[in-house]
Every structure is written in C-alpha cells, then in structure tokens.
Amino acid sequence: GDSVTQMEGPVTLSEEACLTINCTYTATGYPSLFWYVQYPGEGLQLLLKATKADDKGSNKGFEATYRKETTSFHLEKGSVQVSDSAVYFCALIPSGGSNYKLTFGKGTLLTVNP
Amino acid sequence: NAGVTQTPKFRVLKTGQSMTLLCAQDMNHEYMYWYRQDPGMGLRLIHYSVGEGTTAKGEVPDGYNVSRLKKQNFLLGLESAAPSQTSVYFCASSYHVLLPNYEQYFGPGTRLTVT
C-alpha cells in the first residue's frame, strides 16, 4: 500500500539556520504530494503541495520539489525563524481520484531557538 | 467564513460512556473526514464521507460511528468509550480530490480523555 516516511525528530535549530526535513514515499503512479504544518494547539494547515513530477511547491519561504526518480519530497527553508516551530507532516494522495485518503507521515517536530 | 469548526474542544469521559463530536464546515465541501492523532502515529483516518448521506470506513473505524445527515455537518460517535480512544480528534473537509484546488482543511481538534 501507499506509505510516507519522514525523518524522525525532533529537530532543533537556531534562528537563521537552514532546514531540511526528508520525506520519501511509496505509491503507484503519480500521487499528489503535500506538506502540512501544525502549530502548537492548532489543527493542520496546508503549507505547500505539488501534483506532478518536477513541480516545486513553495510558501512562506519553504520549498519542496517532487522528485519521481527518488520518490522524494524534501522540505527546505534557507533561514528558519522562531515562529516556524511546529510539527511538519508529509502526505500523499494517490493519482486517479478513486482513493480519497490522505496518507500521512508520522510528523517531524521542529523547534527553533532564538 | 469560519472554515471547519469542532465541538467540544475538550472532554473527559469515563469508560463506557458515550458522546458525539460535532464537525461543521461552511465551505460547501463535498468530502469530510475524521482523524485521530496519537503520539508517534501521525494522523489515522477513522471514517470519511464523500457526500450528504454517505459514509465509509477508514483505517481505524472500530468503536466509532458517523453520520452525515447534512452536507455541512459530520458527526463522530463513541457508543462505549474505552481508554484506547484517548486521543486528539481532527475533522477535515475538502473539494473533490481531482480538482486543482484540492486540499484538506482541518478543524482545531477535540482533545478527548477516557479514564
């Protein structure tokens, strides 16, 4: 079945450091890929997405590129801020439209210290 | 535009008690979902609905029931709560998965403790 594997956290960085959170997936065809963010005490919200190979999603200084050849969708940011402290989830939905279920990774907790 | 709202925000139940969690969305979404979030497990889908009057099982449906009598509401019921159902419950809604603007919108969550 479909699955998403994220790097295990927690990840602790200093402000202005570079961030990479690895995400790889297993799925048939060309799934759509997502990064969701969960700030403390809140629900998840979409951070960025990509729907086909080589697409780059970007938002709030975060980027991720859909790499079909390596089945990866790594999240990157060049300079993190304290306000980026949150849990980040990688997710996919299969292609074709017959499966409505988002498959999530287990989440990566990021803490950014001033 | 409130998005997705959930009621209640917190609840403590004793083993064997029942309760209903209410989810409401004002975005005219066809699809609605119930997830549970447990430490180290990510989010797991309990039940979902692809339209008014329809429901379907997700990954972990046992011990839960759902109803979608109105398009904007999706109810999650626990008939006889167990300590294993202690969790944070999230509702979400979305347009059809094939639409270019597809994303799931999440509510703020309900923290349930079963003692």
Quote the distance between the C-alpha of residue B58 and its chain's center: 11
Check residue A80 and give its pLDDT: 98
pLDDT (tens digit, 9 = 90+) per residue, A33-92? 999 999 998 899 999 999 889 999 999 999 999 999 999 999 999 999 999 999 999 999
CB < 8 Å from B in window 77-106 of A: 89, 93, 97, 99-102, 104-106
Check residue A97 and give its pLDDT: 61
Check residue A98 and give its pLDDT: 64
Task: Return the residue of B nearest to A99 by Cα.
Answer: B97
| pLDDT exceeds cutoff 90 at B97 | no
CB pairs under 8 A between A and B: 52
Instruction: Judge whether A44 is closer than 8 Å to chain B, CB to CB.
Output: yes
Distance from CA of B17 to the nearest CA of A (A): 26
Predicted confidence band of residue B66 (pLDDT cuts 50, 70, 90): very high
Is A29 in contact with A96 (CB distance < 8 Å)? yes
Distance CA A55, CA B27 (A): 27
Q: Which residues, listed in sequence order, are joined to residue A61 by a DSSP beta bridge?
A: none
| pLDDT exceeds cutoff 70 at A99 | no
Is B107 in contact with B94 (CB distance < 8 Å)? no
Phi, psi (5° rounding) for residue B72?
Answer: -85, -10
